[in-house]
Each structure stands twice: as C-alpha cells, then as structure tokens.
Amino acid sequence: MRIEALYFDGFTGRLLKWQLEVNNGKACLEAGWLRCAKPFRTRFDARFDFDEQTFRRVLPLLSSLNESYMAPWDDLEARRLIVADGDSTICRSVYGAWFLRREFPEIENFLTVWRVLETAVMAQLPEELQSDEDW
C-alpha cells in the first residue's frame, strides 16, 4: 500500500504544512511551520513505522465521498489524500472540511480516515506544536 497525505492548516499563526508518504508500512514525514522565536521558520523530517492495519480498517469509508470538496472561502485548511493499493487508486481532496460538514455530512467519513494519519503525524512532531503556549 502507498499513501500520500498533504496538509496545510490555512491562514493561521503557525502556517503548519506537512506531507506524509507511506510505502508498505514505512512512513516519511516532512513538515514546516512558523515560530514566534528564532528560527522563525522550522523544517522537520522523520521516518517511522506506520500501522497499515488500522488504516485499512477505515479505508472503505472513502468510497462514500466525491473526489473533491471545496469551501467557497480563502485561507482554510486543506487536505489531500492519495491511496494506491494494488490496481486501485483513491484520490480525495477536502478544502475547508469544518465548514463543509453540515452541507456534506459524508466529509465526516473523510475526517475519520484522516484522523488515523494525523494521529501518527502529530505523535512525531515536536512538542511545541502540541500546544499554543507560544502564540
């Protein structure tokens, strides 16, 4: 299984952006964000094992989604997910998920899948991103 996930938090104080690539249970994470103190821009890389079994259990939820959802406003969070497994490839993109959930309740299925990825990513990122104490 190959997974590619891209995230940008929109126009926030952190401007957090990350890309996760998983190939057969091996994950590569690249992230960047802004800080209040020097260095103002931070870059982070990590390699770790990824639990594909947990991801596979929620993966069928993506079949209920359109390929793309776009909120009509600027500066919102963006998520893109590509999953290739055997001959099958699933591509989903959601821009402004929190604003679209009422109109498109199936986005909650996307967020359920996304949380598996996001939990793995956040466990790797430095503690300064776990809280807003410096903002």
Position 131 scores a pLDDT of 59
Position 135 scores a pLDDT of 42
Dihedrals phi, psi of 74, to nearest 5 degrees: -95, 165
Position 101 scores a pLDDT of 92
Position 40 scores a pLDDT of 73
Kindly report the CATH class assigned to 2-129: alpha beta
Q: What is the block-wise mean pLDDT of the chain (135 residues), using blocks of 10 residues?
A: 95 87 97 80 92 92 93 93 94 95 95 95 86 49
pTM to 2 decimal places: 0.89
Per DSSP, the three-state class of 11 is: coil
Sequence-separated (6 or more) residues with CB below 8 Å from residue 86: none
Position 126 scores a pLDDT of 87
